[in-house]
Amino acid sequence: LVLSGRKIRYSPEIKFTHDVSIQGRCICPEWKVYYLCRNLLLLRKLLPVPRIFSVLSVVLRLSKYLAILPWQRKKLLYLYFIWQGILHGLKGISGKYH
């Protein structure tokens, strides 16, 4: 919306439920971490001003996803999706990839 010149209005009365299931430390299903990583990086690239996330906050968020690796059910698949999400985010690739 912002890229097309529209303004975003903050409305505290609106309740939004994010569908990423984090039961304890597990992100399920594993492919969701791909979109979390990719979109975090794409947002910085597509919307350079105003910066929603600092470089430090991006690094910390990606570090968190790596730190919870031991609690994931399918560790290699989870790691693969983190890697792909980071690569696609840095290259500016969007779309459905899972």
Residue 46 sits in which domain range? 23-91
Domain presence at residue 17? no
pLDDT for 23 equals: 59
Full 3-state SS string of the chain: CCCCCCCCCCCCCCCCCCCCEEECCEEECCCHHHHHHHHHHHHHHHCCCCCCCCHHHHHHHHHHHHHCHHHCCCHHHHHHHHHHHHHHHHHCCCCCCC
Domain presence at residue 14? no
Domain presence at residue 12? no
What's the mean per-residue pLDDT of the chain? 87
Domain presence at residue 11? no
Domain presence at residue 33? yes
Per-residue pLDDT of 23-49, as tens digits, reads: 568 888 899 999 999 999 998 888 777
Instruction: Place 22 in a pLDDT band, splitting at 50, 70 and 90.
Output: low
Rounded percentage of the chain residues whose pLDDT exceeds 70: 90
The structural domain count of the chain equals 1
Q: What is the mean pLDDT of residues 7-33?
A: 79
